[in-house]
Amino acid sequence: MMNKDFNSKLIFVALILMLLPACAGWVTDNGDEAVPNTQESSELRSSQVITYEKEKVFDEQRRFMVENDIKARGVSDTKVINAMLDVKRHLFVDINLRSAAYSDNPLPIDEGQTISQPYIVAFMTEALNILPDEKVLEIGTGSGYQAAVLAELTDKVYSVEIKSNLSAKARLNLDANSCSGVQTKCDDGYYGWEEYAPFDVIIVTCAANHIPPSLIKQLKDGGRLIIPLGNTLYYQTLTLIVKHGEELEVNHILDVVFVPMTGEIEMQQQK
Ligand code: SAH
């Protein structure tokens, strides 16, 4: 009998102890609002605080990058600078590379490809002098970052990526960064994008040893095309072409290193 009584008292005390933390969860620090204090909700709140703080750090790093790596090197077009300030590069790289997103470097994306150095993105964009409403074709969507920067300048951005995995990921990145208007497709950009041609501007973000003829064809009269041109194994010269009827005005502007264009152009090189 004694034993049974003792046992039931123990069970009663254990029950009270178990209920206590759950009851305490409805009392907040300032005591005027009751919120559930379950482990899940506190984890959720602390992760939101960290994300918010990290966002502030990223904003600060992005401002620093624009001042020191972009404006200090001579990029001065206000629209380009604002685009570089607005587009969150950390959302176009893998989570484990986010802390390096605002460094002065290209960064790896999947499949051995890279997202270009921010200065080069800004430099190429400025060189193209894009007007609102102009139609822009990008060859080499990669992460979608350059396309997002272009989308800050015009509503008509089209981008072609040859690797399906990258194309699909870039689509997600663009949608998550309010760039659903950017049109993307997975294809060999050597052939441009006939359906939407002609373009005012074409930007090629992979290296080629010649200008793909379709791209010249799909460029409007007076249109601008920028491409890293040269030996795709070493370095290339960023080349700005302006189309004047049958004539091409060619400007060699800066030595750069880009990943090579693949697909048809590679097949031709092997011949
Ligand atoms: N602009 C990108 C980076 C480009 S890296 C960004 O902002 O992230 C170069 C990209 O060109 C790679 O993703 C590569 O797969 C792609 N590419 C290479 N050859 C191509 C081709 N023939 N057509 C379209 N894309 C190509």
pLDDT in tens, 165-202: 999 999 999 999 999 999 999 999 999 999 999 999 99
| Nearest ligand 1 atom to alpha carbon 147 | 7
Residue 164 is among the residues annotated as catalytic for this protein: no
Amino acid 51: pLDDT: 81
C-alpha of residue 125 to centroid of ligand 1, in Å: 16
Mean pLDDT across the stretch 51-57? 89
Catalytic residue among 42, 76, 116, 214: 116
Mean pLDDT across the stretch 9-30? 36
| Nearest ligand 1 atom to alpha carbon 111 | 15
Give nearest CA residue, ligand 1 atom 17.
Answer: 140
In this structure, is residue 188 part of a structural domain? yes
Give nearest CA residue, ligand 1 atom 19.
Answer: 261
**Least confident segment among 50-59, 65-74, 94-103, 107-116:** 50-59
Mean pLDDT across the stretch 46-74? 86
206 lines ligand 1 (CB under 6 A): yes
Report the percent of the chain where pLDDT is more than 90: 77
C-alpha of residue 141 to centroid of ligand 1, in Å: 5
Q: To test the ligand 1 pocket, which listed residue (159, 161, 210) has its Cβ within 8 A of the most ligand atoms?
A: 161
In this structure, is residue 78 part of a structural domain? no
Q: Which domain holds residue 264?
A: 105-270
Which domain CATH number covers 132? 3.40.50.150
Residue 208, pLDDT > 50, answer yes
Residue 82, pLDDT > 90, answer yes
161 lines ligand 1 (CB under 6 A): yes
In this structure, is residue 4 part of a structural domain? no
pLDDT band at 7 (very low <50, low <70, confident <90, very high): low
**Least confident segment among 40-49, 142-151, 253-262:** 40-49
In this structure, is residue 195 part of a structural domain? yes
| Nearest ligand 1 atom to alpha carbon 116 | 3
Mean pLDDT across the stretch 234-242? 96
Each residue of 26-35: pLDDT tens digit? 222 232 233 3
Amino acid 65: pLDDT: 98
In this structure, is residue 120 part of a structural domain? yes
User: Which pTM does this prediction carry?
Assistant: 0.83
In this structure, is residue 58 part of a structural domain? no
In this structure, is residue 222 part of a structural domain? yes
Residue 142, pLDDT > 60, answer yes
pLDDT band at 235 (very low <50, low <70, confident <90, very high): very high
SS (H, E, C) the chain: CHHHHHHHHHHHHHHHHHHHHHHHCCCCCCCCCCCCCCHHHHHHHHHHHHHHHHHHHHHHHHHHHHHHHHHCCCCCCHHHHHHHHHCCHHHHCCHHHHHHCCCCCCEECHHHCEECCHHHHHHHHHHHCCCCCCEEEEECCCCCHHHHHHHCCCCEEEEEECCHHHHHHHHHHHHHCCCCCCEEEECCHHHCCHHHCCEEEEEECCEECCCCHHHHHCEEEEEEEEEEEECCCCCEEEEEEEEECCEEEEEEEEEECCCECCCHHHHHHHC
C-alpha of residue 207 to centroid of ligand 1, in Å: 9
- Count of the separate structural domains present in the chain: 1
